[in-house]
Chains A and B, each alone.
Chain A
Amino acid sequence: MKSTSNEQVLLKGLAANDSVIIEQLYKENFSTIQAFILANNGSYDDAKDVFQEAMITLYEKAQSGSFVLTCQIKTYVYSVCRRLWLKKLQQLGRFSHPVDNLEETISVDDDLEEHAKHDAAFAIMDRALKSLGEPCKSLLEGYYLQKMDMQALASEFGYTNSDNAKNQKYKCLMRLKKLFFAQYNIGE
């Protein structure tokens, strides 16, 4: 079916962080979510946050090769947003009966649980990197995140040679490891 293969293209594009595809997904889905959030005690900013979180959830799923979409992307995104928002409303004590737009939904609880774990890990990593301080943070980000060459990093940070930079990087990494695993519990 044409539509299904098209959806697969979109998913692959999302997994590859393709900005054109992401823009298309955004255009096709955001206003529905915005309408839903606005109709349920939310604001424009809430809609933006919830929608982007749903997109990240979908991204994480698309990343893992095993993911098979059992419904249309828009149904999936709507379901995730709906679940996220109702949960948020409950936390805020603003819960009221949800107003739906006759959209169909699927159960996404398992996916959201997994996403919550990822999100927690992300936050821990973010905090750990931030508390490392400079130049450790930039050095690690340069090497591990932006995959920069050691030579280039050395000259950028002003190390006399790449070996010194490498040593420094390992020291930083050890600190990061301590910080990260202090909060991140394996298996939980």
Chain B
Amino acid sequence: MEDLILLETIEKYLSNQMDAQEKTAFELVRKNTPEIDQMVVEHAMLLQQMDQYSMVKSIKLTLAQTHQNLLEHGEISNTIEVSEGGKVIQLFNKYKRVASIAASVGGVIALFISGLALYLSPASHNSQIQQLSNDIAAIKKSQQYQGKLINEVKSKLPAGVKFISGGSGFLIDGKGFIVTNAHVIKGTDAIVVDNTGKEYVAEIALLDKLKDLAILKINDPDFTSKKSLPYSIRKSTTDLGEEIFTLGYPRNEIVYGTGYLSARSGYEGDSLSYQLQMSANPGNSGAPVFDNAGEVIGVLSTREAQLEGVVFALKSNNIFKVVNDYNTSNEGGKDIKISTRSNISRMSRKNQIATLESCVYYVKSFDK
């Protein structure tokens, strides 16, 4: 009971509720009794701690309520996306003045430099990409062998024809349908030469300049149609890094080349094409691009003029599209049937080439 009275007195003292007389009396007791002095200090401390505790507790409550309120009103968010946006917006707000000044200065400098570059640089006539078709006239001058070959086949063709362009092509149907690039066929008619040097007259069955694909139909009694082709045309797209090979006629003899698929799109993001890493020369246009299993994944068509080894090939699914166009427009005639199975997938590369060779043709186009 004494303790309680003492405590009450201390509390009264600490909260300044004593009158002056009481206070002096108590302070004297405090001074003379260290135990009581200690109790006063402890009590003051406890009360202060309780005050502090109470305040922090109420601010915690306010914070929790505020958080809940803001969350309900959508002012803050508990999802990542919005807060990321918040961050961006805050950064934007913080730096928008600096950014706009920087942007306008940058803009002026860019305009100035590009103007200067345009003014000072020599006019460039290089086209960025090169079609890989042959200019026959040019080649005739440099290659006597070619001249011989053309003389040889003159018997098959009307006199006085002029070759305009050439490239490669390959069978997509054993009945004599050949696919090549549209830019290979610059003339009105074409002949195709197989790997043994035999020539066949072909007619242009379809020319799709937009896709840069052409279908030729061999119209020659000498041609014996093949029952089935050893390779198929791939419908799905091909993966990056896949090894590929090609057979074509950059010269009068069939030439083998290898490389890999280096990008899923062609020149400047052209989604109809792949980018390949391999060497290709004029005359390779229209050549088939095979994967390891011997499936056709594309048609070699252009290369980048400035960069060695950067070649573009039309994706093989475009072949299906032009074949479909041909079949629907070709009423009564024979439809093109594309073989869906490749039977050379397990062969060694040498044997694959030996089998494929006879299906790849040298294509020459001329005007009558």
Binding site for B on A (CB under 8 A): 17, 19, 22-23, 26-27, 30-32, 34-35, 38-39, 44, 48, 52, 55-56, 59-60, 63, 101-102, 118, 121-122, 125-126, 129, 140, 144-145, 166-167, 170-171, 173-174, 176-177, 180-181, 184, 186
Contact = CB atoms under 8 A, between A and B. Distances in A.
Q: How many residues of B sit at the interface, in one of the four size bands? A: 35 or more
B356 interface: no
A170 B8 contact: yes
10 contacts: A17-B58, A35-B87, A35-B90, A44-B78, A44-B79, A101-B87, A102-B94, A122-B52, A170-B7, A177-B42
Interface stretch (B64-72, B104-112, B174-182, B298-306): B64-72
A26 B7 contact: no
A102 B91 contact: yes
B268 interface: no
Given A125-B49, A170-B7, A23 B69 contact: yes
B46 interface: yes
A149 to B, nearest CB: 14
Contact of A145 (B46, B57, B84): B57
Contact of B80 (A26, A38, A126): A38
Interface majority SS (helix, strand, loop, mixed), chain B: helix
B80 to A, nearest CB: 6
Given A38-B83, A44-B78, A122-B52, A167 B63 contact: no
Given A44-B78, A102-B91, A35 B4 contact: no
B42 A181 contact: yes
Contacts of A44: 78-80
Interface of B: 3-4, 7-8, 42-43, 45-47, 49-60, 62-67, 69-70, 75-80, 83-84, 86-87, 90-91, 94-95
B91 A17 contact: no
Contact of B60 (A32, A56, A101, A174): A56
A180 B52 contact: no
A170 B3 CA distance: 9
Given A26-B66, A125-B49, 15 more contacts: A23-B69, A27-B75, A32-B90, A38-B84, A56-B59, A56-B63, A60-B56, A101-B90, A118-B52, A122-B52, A122-B53, A122-B56, A145-B50, A170-B4, A171-B4
A31 B83 contact: yes
